[in-house]
Chain A
Amino acid sequence: MADEYRKARIKKNIVWTIAFFFAIIWLLVAFIPFLFMILNSLRGQGDMLQHGVFTLPQPFIFSNYPAIMKQGFMGYFMRSVIVVAISLTILLFATACASYPLSRMRFRLRLPLRALIVAMMSVPMHVTLIPIFKMANKVGIYDSIWALIGPYVAFGLPLATFILSSFMEQTIPKEVEEAAEIDGCGRYAMFFRIIFPLSKAGLSTLAIYNGVHMWNEFAFANTLTQSKAAKTLPLALSAFKGENTINTPLILAVLTLSVLPMIILFLIFQDKLVKGMMAGAVKG
């Protein structure tokens, strides 16, 4: 008996050792590109041409960062912040509004509507690209960040509604709602005082995923904006590339500063990453 127990223990240790081995390999695979990016953004152009990219920078220089600031990096950055802030606010509010009836009210069209909205997840943005380009031109917002908000919100809606309505269905107990109703709480007060506050965990998960997505969005931004004064961060890259063709360290500095805010926000909110997803994941 004791022998068998020891055998099982040894086997368990072996399995964990192998698992750790692969876990560390994937850790390196995930992290080395970042290391490569950060280290090489800290060297001079001549240093890179001379020593290649695998040595430590000699010497470490930080002048690439002020240099990109001088070339208008903050403009791209602020435009991205504005677009993401506005789009995300609209997206989260609209999603919460829609998820409330889709998860908690009884009416005939509830399930068909929900299925329809979820099915829109498979709509490729390219099928809407030319018409949205035309619309932006007609309304006169082409080549400004305002053209990006509508499509960013709309394309986040299907998945967000799916996740949040599952979340509301599973995490907010019916009794809370009933108790509020008995206390004379109407539907609209119910939404703002009870449903919305209780959905916070789900909403923060959605904010992380959609925020990352909007921050990095490329195709709409590339189609709907043209001038330097309207471009967002994902487009800054090609602009900087155009202006500094061979200066790779400088471009890597642009990349580093573009992901940095995402990494910082992620480190702060990472515990919210799974919670809101749970309801959407279990149901499938």
Chain B
Amino acid sequence: MAKQQKEMFEKPVKGTLAYARAVSTRKAAAVFLAPVILLLVIFMVYPIIDTFVTSGYRWNGISADKQWLGFFNAGSNWNELIHDDNFWHAFRNNIIVMVFSILLQMPIGMLLATFLDAGGKKLNIFKTIWFFPYLMSSTAIAFLFTYALATNDGLITAAATLIRGKRTAIDLLGRSPHALFTVIGVMAWQFAPFYMVYFIAGYSGIDESLYEAAVIDGATRGQYIRRVALPLLKPTIKAACTMSLIGSLKYFDLIWNMTQGGPGVTSELMATYMYKQSFKNFKMGYGSAVAAGMFILITLIALLFNRIFESKEDY
């Protein structure tokens, strides 16, 4: 997404009108950009640096007494992090969530958008209701689904009991591999609407005359979608994939409210692990190391994907 383009500048000569103009442009740009830059520095850049600094200490977050541990020597937080099986397990879970989120959310979003684009305005009622899940908070969704999936009288268990004719308890949250995939399913339910709208926006950006031209050439709607629309939507799909990828690597709310990473560490994600270490075990130094590690891993993966996507475009 952050593709670097080069802009050509002719360097204005000092004393000319063009030079005065360039100076005043620079000044105006600085004034307009100041609030955003200030906010980002205070609430993102400085905290990131501070997290890296804190990750060198042993600190419980409350007392003034902090003990410097260093960064890479034995006994430091970073050393512990690299050998922490729970963290790498959480990272693995994040990768699973990432892969399945893209595999679920993108196709669902695309199918919904294609249906709405092909059907036009009269299908608006579908769009409205399909968007509802996105309006709900993760805490509310977590509660609702925990309840609906409960083994005593939840929806799934009741449905299974009805089908089999005898009491059948289906425990989608209690047992280890299920819990993570259940949450992935709920995430798809929550986020598919966002990508639906994003793809609708992509579709509406395509010139209407292209469809007309395709129809005149004898193409059906299906052929138009496959041969004309989808190739044109490539950048949109790429951006959506990147968003979903980043989103699932830093995901927190739903898991925290549904399973707290459990049972055991089976549905632990990097973010829930960080939160547990920092605000439940009060190991702020170690929590900072987890957060910083998470930041590094996410940045690396995002860069890697950008590279892969970009090289794919050169043919």
Contact = CB atoms under 8 A, between A and B. Distances in A.
Interface in B128-174: 128-141, 143-145, 147-148, 153, 155, 158
Contacts of A116: 2
Contact of A126 (B28, B61, B236, B271): B271
A23 interface: yes
A258 B204 contact: no
B114 to A, nearest CB: 9
Contact of A124 (B46, B130, B204, B298): B298
B148 A126 contact: no
A95 to B, nearest CB: 7
A111 interface: yes
Nearest to B134: A212
Chain A: interface size category: 35 or more
A274 B201 contact: yes
Given A130-B54, A132-B43, A132-B47, A124 B249 contact: yes
Contacts of A278: 201-202, 204-205
A233 B116 CA distance: 33
B184 interface: no
Interface in A22-80: 22-23, 26-27, 29-31, 33-34, 36-37, 52-54
Interface string A94-112: 1101101110011111111
B51 interface: yes
A212 B141 CA distance: 14
Chain B: interface size category: 35 or more
A153 interface: yes
- Interface SS of chain B: helix
A277 B29 contact: no
A124 to B, nearest CB: 4
Given A94-B35, A212-B135, A126 B250 contact: yes
Q: Which of A31, A105, A216, A281 counts the most chain B CB atoms within 10 A? A: A281
Contacts of A12: 220-221
A94 B36 contact: yes
B14 interface: no
B275 A106 contact: no
Interface of A: 8, 12, 15, 19, 22-23, 26-27, 29-31, 33-34, 36-37, 52-54, 93-95, 97-98, 100-102, 105-113, 115-135, 150-151, 153-155, 157-158, 161-162, 187-188, 191, 212, 215-216, 218-219, 223, 233-235, 237-238, 241, 248, 251-252, 255, 258-259, 262-263, 266-267, 270, 273-274, 277-284
Identify the 5 closest CB pairs spanning chains A and B, nearest first.
A284-B235, A216-B137, A154-B43, A124-B250, A128-B47
25 contacts: A15-B222, A19-B115, A30-B189, A54-B158, A105-B25, A108-B9, A122-B298, A123-B44, A124-B250, A125-B252, A126-B291, A130-B50, A131-B47, A150-B39, A191-B32, A216-B137, A238-B139, A248-B147, A255-B140, A258-B137, A259-B136, A273-B131, A281-B201, A281-B236, A282-B202
